Amino acid sequence: MTTILNKAAFLLIMLILVAGATAQEYAAKITLNGGNSFVVKKLTIKGDRLFPDSGTSSTALSMVKEIEFRFSGLSLSMCDSMFRTGDRKSLEGLLDQYVGPVAQYSNLPTNLGDYLVWLLRSQYWNRNSAGVTKTIGYIRQSKNAEYVDVASMYFVMLLLDQGKVSDAKTIFFSVVNAQDISLPMFEYIRGKIALEEGDSRQAMQHVARIIAFHSRDSEWMAPATALEARIYQQLGQPLKAQAVANELIIAYPGTQWSRLGEQIKKEAIGS
């Protein structure tokens, strides 16, 4: 099976590369306030006016009701599938290639929000901090509260990774109804904050809720399991940490989580 997947991954990468070399990146359907719409193959905006692919007539941006980007090699379901299967490097590459060039238009009424969130999530888990910061900027530009909240949550994650707990808390508590964005993410962040503040017991209670009730969550279950192992380490319970590390190794083969599991196991045996 490993061979199959490796081949599949290889083919996909090849496809991406080929697509990158030749793709017509996108088309954008412009809908005006009056209901009329037209399609452009390239969005040309000068000042506050939008220009069609040909001709000199232009439209004031204030007249544009919606800009719907359609990408030839990318769809939201594809993003979902690639993210879920752990193919996050490729996903980030695809999103960079297709969404990257138009991300600057996120301040307009576009459908870029979901794509930018997928980009942000991929960048975060691929440890691309610079990319995360940049994408958060684009999302904030959209002024869409829902997306901005999601971006804030990943910003909290980034700050926690950097050990800036106080800043992370400030951002986290500014997000209204953070649990509605993603309950496991909400619990994870609270667990991480509690752990950073030395309250291992509280941290464990948050993590336990992810593990107990979101075990099939493709994004948060693995980090929560790793956090559980770390908490046991901090509590001076190396055997339990080792048991949890074993789960990371078995359940997430060939990923950063299994590698982390190996590392925790070594530390646990060492201690």
Partner 1 sequence: MKNALSTYEGLLWRAVLVAALLSVASVHVAHSAGVTQSQLSRLDPRVESTSVLLETSKELLKNEQLEDALPFLEEVLVRLEGDDEKKARQTLAFTLYQLAYCQMKLGEYVSGAKNFVRFCDEFPDDPQMESGRVLAAQCLTMVQQWPGVEEQASLVLQNVRLADDLKVPATQLLAESRYQQEKWGEAIRPLGSLFRIAKKDTVRAGAAVMLVTCYVRLDDFSNLFKVLPHCDQAARHDVGLNVALLEAGDSHYNKGEFQKALLLYRLVLLKKDLIEHYEMRLRQTKQAMKPFVAGGSQTLSDFKELQRKRQLLFDRLMTQYKVIKSFQDYDMDVALRTAQCYNDLERNWPAHAIYHRIYTESPTNSLADQSRFSAFAVMLDEREWALATAEGYEYIQKLPEGEFLDDITLNLMQVHMQQEQFDLAFDVGKKGLELSPDHKHIDQVKYLMGYIRFMRLDYEEALGYFSEILKRWPDSRYYESAEYWRCMSFLFLGSFEDAETAFQGYLSNPKYDPRVYAEDASYRLGIAQYGAEKYEPSEASFRTFIDQYPESKMVSEAYAMLGDLRAAEGDLDVALDFYRIAREKALTLLQVNYPLFQAAKVLELEKRFSDIVELMTEYQKKWGVQGDFANAANWMGKAYKALDEYSRALDAYLDTTDAYGNNADLGGIDLILREVINDYNGEDWSAYQSIIIERLDERLKRAKESGQRPLELRYQTVFVDITEGDERDTFVDAVVQPKNVPASGASTLVLIAREGVKRNDYEIVHEATSRFMSTFEVSNNMLYIMLANLDALIGEESYGDALELTEEILLRFGYGSKSVGFARKRRGDIYRLQGKHEEALEAYKEVLSIREWRGSLTPEALFCSGVSKLELGEVEEAFAYFQRIYVLYEDYTEWVAPAYAKSIQCLETLGGHEQDVINTYQEMLSNDAVVSTPEGIEATKRLRELQPAGEVL
Nearest-approach distance from CB 129 to partner 1, in angstroms: 26
Of 5 and 39, nearer to partner 1 (C-beta) is: 5
Under rule CB under 8 A, residue 253 binds partner 1: yes
* Largest pairwise CA distance in the chain: 73
Of 46 and 216, nearer to partner 1 (C-beta) is: 216
Under rule CB under 8 A, residue 250 binds partner 1: yes
Structure tokens given for 205: 């209670």
Under rule CB under 8 A, residue 251 binds partner 1: yes
Give the number of residues written for the chain: 271
Contacts with partner 1: how many residues (CB under 8 A)?
A: 33
Under rule CB under 8 A, residue 130 binds partner 1: no
Binding residue (CB under 8 A) for partner 1 from 85, 90, 256, 263: 85
Under rule CB under 8 A, residue 194 binds partner 1: no
Task: Write out the residues near partner 1 by the rule CB under 8 A.
Answer: 1-2, 4-5, 7-8, 84-86, 201, 204-205, 207-209, 211-213, 215-216, 218, 228, 239-240, 243-244, 246-247, 250-254
